[in-house]
Structure 1
Amino acid sequence: MRCIAHRGFAGLYPENTLTAVRQAADRADMIEVDVRQCRSGDPVVIHDETVDRVTDSTGVVADISLATLQSMDVLETGEGVPSLEAVLRAVPDDVGLNLELKEPGLVERVLELLEEFDTEILLSSFDVETLATARDLDPSVDRALIVDSSSEAAIERAASLDCTAIHPHWRLVDFALLERAHRSDLAVNVWPINDPERATEYEKMGVDGVIVDEPAACR
């Protein structure tokens, strides 16, 4: 079962920062980060639509320049909001990267950037159109549908999009879901798991990966 560091182990390190990515790389099989676009269209790594929660500034990410984002202080680390390129450069070759695309219109720029790197990539999104665009532009890049409700329909949807994985909320996961997903050749990566005992239970059930805030959940 793969250990996927949610926002770079956000329970332990400042989320979606280069520090988190570098630290998580020592203990995770894959690192999950959130991707948006700034004013220039460059992909940047931040979860929220605004910078208000995680920086010393305010404003909508899409309205702010890359240089300004990089000059902000994220969670009192002294680090700015990183570009996706910087994150890709920080990830070791033997650690995968799960890019959650937070908004439409990102796919083409992200795929162009990925051409420069050999990192194992999994593109994930709640948005079906985003995943469909990614498939049409470059079917060789793996994709995952994130699910927080109606899992049975979501499995069919993910399979129809030629996804390689489905990311259901832990409340949706049972043996029936796992059987249906695996029958459709979909890996199942569950989120968010922060209890080591629950992670062990899911491993025994046959879950393929857990997306966690704390590395202790991966034992």
Structure 2
Amino acid sequence: MADTTGTTTTDVAGRNELSIIAHRGFAGVYPENTLAAVEQATTGARQADLPEMVEVDVMASADGEIVVFHDTDLARVTNAPADLAEQKVWETPFETLSELEVLGTGETVPTLEAVLDAIPPEVGLNVEFKNPGSAAVRPRKNLPREVRETQKELWLDFAAEVSETLADYDHEILVSSFAEGALAAVREVAPEIPLAAVFATSITDGMEIARRYDCEAVHPPWNMISGTPLFNSEYGTLGPYEDIDLVDIAHSEGRAVNAWTVESWYQATHLRQAGVDGLITDYPGVVRFGDATAE
């Protein structure tokens, strides 16, 4: 399996393979963050399309279960009735979550433990921390010093529970988050787990957070990679960014660069040429057509 954590500069600089990380279990072709998605992504896909890692999102249910779910509320992904659709996931008991259908597929909201059971041990897992059960978390922020401890405390119990669950499995693990408090909490309760800082608003702020918690990887959006035709392209509300060579800086510090969320061979080709280490992608096979031109 390719090393997606980039623990040393030599590892990063010498890597020739591009790691594929199945975003929410290849959400472009399978129902996101479900057992069906991770099973199909890791066992049902053709051999050439098998990912090195699967990425899933985790948060807490109202009764403290670690569930695999991305959104804050239930409206987009589930068939929750109108009176529940806008309810926060962390305000909803797991029994209720487990009875909801995901994206009309018959799949339900799984636990992190169930997802780990479904993934072969040779495939890694990127666990993205979304919410520990509080509306007070502050993602996508380079936190001022005076609030860092308070933000970390919001995540500590959740980080400890997730870490204990992960410790029972042999998968290669990478924990990522937009929330600085989540990274701080994992560093405190399980310093052996590799971390990735997920970037959104600023390269400079993102690198400060990565250095603060000695993150093994950084996860920028695909339009944050300078020196490519993708740089500062329209991507939702993301950008524009400083003209900084993030790949060069991250590699010089021994950090891997995994770009999100890659949707096409065109993006994959230019990101590979720029030297990124991994692609967090919704689709298997995104590098297939770019291989000849990306070397």
Aligned to 1:202: 271
**Any residues of structure 2 matched to 1:105-144 within 5 Å, and which?**
105=155, 106-144=158-196
Higher normalized strand content (fraction of residues): 1
Aligned to 1:148: 200
Of the candidates 124, 132, 137, which is equivalent to residue 96 of structure 1? 124
Of the candidates 168, 173, 178, which is equivalent to residue 247 of structure 2? 178
Of the candidates 204, 213, 219, which is equivalent to residue 282 of structure 2? 213
**Any residues of structure 2 matched to 1:3-82 within 5 Å, and which?**
3-26=20-43, 27-57=50-80, 58=85, 59-82=87-110
Equivalent AA in structure 2 for residue 151 of structure 1: I
CA distance in 2, matches of 1:194, 1:47: 18
What does the per-residue CA deviation read over 1:53-112, in whole Å, with 9 as the maximum and x for residues that have no partner?
Answer: 111112321122212211111111112100111001111111111111002432111011
Q: Are the equivalent residues in 2 in contact too, given 1:147–1:168 (CA < 8 A)?
A: yes
Q: Are the equivalent residues in 2 in contact too, given 1:70–1:79 (CA < 8 A)?
A: no
Matched positions, count: 219
Q: Are the equivalent residues in 1 in contact too, given 2:26–2:41 (CA < 8 A)?
A: yes
Q: TM-score, normalised by structure 1?
A: 0.96
| Alpha-carbon offset, residue 149 of structure 1 | 2.0
What does the per-residue CA deviation read over 1:118-173, in whole Å, with 9 as the maximum and x for residues that have no partner?
Answer: 11111100111110110111111111000012112311320220110000011111
In structure 2, the gaps of 5 or more residues are 1-17, 44-49, 133-154, 228-244, 289-295
Q: Which has more radius of gyration?
A: 2
Q: Secondary structure at the match of 2:269?
A: helix
2:155 paired with 1:86: no
| Alpha-carbon offset, residue 197 of structure 1 | 2.2
CA distance in 2, matches of 1:11, 1:119: 24
Equivalent AA in structure 1 for residue 56 of structure 2: V
Alpha-carbon RMSD: 1.2
Equivalent AA in structure 2 for residue 100 of structure 1: E
CA distance in 2, matches of 1:186, 1:43: 28
Aligned to 2:219: 167
Q: Secondary structure at the match of 1:39?
A: coil
Equivalent AA in structure 2 for residue 117 of structure 1: Y
CA distance in 2, matches of 1:208, 1:100: 18
CA distance in 2, matches of 1:40, 1:157: 31
Q: TM-score, normalised by structure 2?
A: 0.72
Aligned to 2:231: none
Q: Secondary structure at the match of 2:285?
A: helix
Equivalent AA in structure 2 for residue 18 of structure 1: L
Q: Are the equivalent residues in 2 in contact too, given 1:131–1:145 (CA < 8 A)?
A: yes
CA distance in 1, matches of 2:285, 2:72: 29
CA distance in 2, matches of 1:56, 1:149: 32
Structure 1: 4+ residue segments shifted above 6 A? none
CA distance in 1, matches of 2:267, 2:107: 34
